[in-house]
Amino acid sequence: MTNYEFDAAYRESGAGLFCGVDEAGRGPLAGPVYAAAVILPPQPEIAGLNDSKKISEKKREALFPVICETALSYAIGTASVEEIDELNILQATFLAMRRAVEGLSVTPAFALIDGNRTPAGIAIPCQTVVKGDALSASIAAASILAKVSRDHYLAELDKQYPEYGFAKHKGYGTKEHYAALTAYGMSPVHRRTFLHGEFPERGKR
């Protein structure tokens, strides 16, 4: 079954219009968590849609405008570093997903959510799909929009804080990133709850 056939099965069930929802950036040490909600039409099919982690950055960048142009509606939601530290990463991810769904210009009948946990507060019925970004075209499209949008934001953060290398590692805990944290301390865009006070605040040594 292709990912478009997976979505077609939901359409044929008579449940109505639906969106796919996925997140990007739960694991990094810095930057917000992103989510996207996408309503795709049955046609035209977008060639190459897959889990954003399984395709190259170049392919994701190429698919991004195609998804935006093809979708009946799409929206991006985020939760800030401060919200991540206040709520925890799971609840912040759910908040970003809710904001993405609420941002749609067309209200779907239900949402297909990647994963096995239903976000609280989404006003429409939700169906979780484990490994949904590999099974559903709508969720795959959402995963690409979320990932590319977050990558673009981290590239902007890199201009503000070039010493950390955000454009390269996107905030993930690479060897280079930890070396920069040791050298410069935590910037305002680092997640304090992820670093557990291991590094000083930037400029406070």
Q: Three-state SS across 106-174?
A: CCCCEEEEECCCCCCCCCCCEEEECCHHHHCHHHHHHHHHHHHHHHHHHHHHHHHCHHHCHHHHCCCCC
Phi, psi (degrees; rounded to nearest 5) at 12: -70, -15
pLDDT score recorded for residue 197? 80
Q: What is the four-CA torsion angle of 167, 171, 176, 179, rounded to 10 degrees?
A: 130
Helix (H) or strand (E) holding 60: helix 57-70
Query: Based on the structure, what is the number of domains in the chain?
Result: 1
Read off the CATH number of the domain in which 19 is found.
Answer: 3.30.420.10
Provide the whole-model pTM. 0.95
Encode pLDDT of 1-44 as tens digits. Answer: 789 899 999 888 877 899 999 999 999 999 999 999 999 999 99
Residue 116 included in any domain? yes
pLDDT score recorded for residue 15? 77
Residue 103 included in any domain? yes
The stretch 167-191 carries a mean pLDDT of: 96
The stretch 168-192 carries a mean pLDDT of: 96
CA angle at 51 for the pair 194 and 59, rounded to the nearest 5°: 105
The CA distances from residue 73 to 35, 93, 100, 126, 148, in Å, are 14, 21, 11, 17, 17
pLDDT score recorded for residue 14? 78
Residue 156 included in any domain? yes
Residue with tokens 């994701």: 60
pLDDT score recorded for residue 196? 87
Look at residue 94 and tell me whether its pLDDT is greater than 70. Answer: yes
Encode pLDDT of 115-154 as tens digits. Answer: 999 999 999 999 999 999 999 999 999 999 999 999 999 9
Residue 204 included in any domain? no
* Domain, as residue range, for 29: 3-160
Residue 121 included in any domain? yes
pLDDT score recorded for residue 200? 85
Residue 117 included in any domain? yes
Residue 189 included in any domain? no
Query: Mean pLDDT in the chain?
Result: 94
Token representation of residue 52: 């954003």
Residue 30 included in any domain? yes
Name the band, by pLDDT with cuts 50, 70 and 90, for residue 203.
low
